A = this chain, B = another copy of it.
């Protein structure tokens, strides 16, 4: 935890310029929850009537904050709302104390901002199994409330980092009926150091006016093809949280017909999801796995995740080894339908295998050349139907072992 990691070689060159989102203000402070000398709590204040949508970890051991958010997310309200997030302690597997900490924090935020407690959404990320010193957070609420401003989103992105090596942000601006609507989002994940668990937190804000149920439908659908299609190491956090807030402050209404908005939101979500992979522990390669020709989209995703989670595939990529046999192996074990004799595999644009064997046109040096790139594409066509999926991952390197095994908690 004390160890500072070098910035990922796959990091973007800079944090993007994120526009202010009408109806949203941010503040961040140093509360000393666990880390010293850095901001570790962020507060986002949301205008009255903001529609909230969310997607959460399906872990059976999810944290108290996640359970609290899940209870609150399904209701529309004309009131304002707030999101409060701390890093340094995930308040997961902390028994009844954990529930009381969530209550203490959300109640204090509600009082500070004169909002109903049912509109306060909280997240915690960091070490697990240790009591959250929530009084360190509540002691800072007046300071946070006083600092709220529309341009504090980059500081907020930094405040939610744990072992991330760079802050993550993404934005989109689109025009609906000639009026501009903005989307801006931040995320943290998925660097880990013992004793932390992977946690992914994502907060996206828009000034569009959207019906809550419609927003939730969009977010749930898009999540399946963005955040639920990335994997660093197949291990699922107890705290994963994605919250989307639509303030409506632009006065522009998004309806079922606003295809452009959903596409823009998809772009922001995918950008943030990719940044999480680019900050994967020990990652040196960004890998896109494209699956076509499966019996269904679900089967395509099952195959894609089997490839992306295979330690043998990931170590081969780390070693720049065009080891297509391991792709065949991963497809075979995935559990989804596959036929050895209709399977085709490409590395980049190079056809590697087809009709149950290596392609007659394949030359090992072509595959090896593609594997030297920092961005790798593996394309698999099952030859069975019309199902497709994209999955994104990184390689498995000595860096991963060092981060997770070499340093004692």
Contact = CB atoms under 8 A, between A and B. Distances in A.
Contacts of A338: 60-61
Interface in A285-340: 309-312, 315-316, 318-326, 328-334, 336-340
Given A93-B353, A316-B404, A401-B397, A323 B194 contact: yes
A355 interface: yes
B315 A128 contact: no
Contacts of A358: 93, 129
B195 A329 contact: no
B61 A404 contact: no
Contacts of A309: 234
Contacts of A238: 328-329, 332
B97 A319 contact: no
Nearest to A345: B93
B233 A337 contact: no
Contacts of A397: 401, 405
Contacts of A276: none
Number of copies: 2
A295 to B, nearest CB: 12
Nearest to A331: B61
A234 to B, nearest CB: 7
A294 to B, nearest CB: 12
Interface in A84-105: 92-98
Interface residues of A, number: 74
Interface in A188-244: 192, 194-195, 197-198, 233-238
A343 interface: yes
A234 B329 contact: no
Is the contact region of chain A dominated by helix, strand, or loop, or is it mixed? loop
Nearest to A403: B315
B235 A197 contact: no
Interface in A347-380: 353, 355-358, 368
B325 A235 contact: no
Contacts of A95: 341, 355-357
Given A195-B323, A235-B310, A93 B357 contact: yes
A162 to B, nearest CB: 13
Given A60-B340, A93-B356, A323-B195, A235 B330 contact: yes
A38 interface: no
A302 B234 CA distance: 15
B60 A339 contact: yes
A400 interface: yes
Contacts of A140: none
Contact of A315 (B328, B337, B401): B401
A353 B129 contact: yes
Contacts of A320: 408
A133 interface: no
27 contacts: A59-B333, A60-B337, A92-B325, A93-B325, A94-B356, A94-B357, A95-B357, A128-B328, A192-B312, A194-B321, A197-B326, A234-B311, A235-B311, A235-B326, A235-B333, A236-B332, A311-B311, A311-B396, A311-B404, A315-B400, A315-B404, A318-B401, A319-B406, A323-B409, A368-B408, A398-B398, A401-B401
Given A60-B339, A97-B357, A319-B406, 8 more contacts: A60-B332, A60-B336, A94-B356, A98-B356, A129-B353, A195-B323, A197-B312, A316-B404
Closest 4 CB pairs of A and B: A61-B332, A59-B332, A95-B357, A236-B333
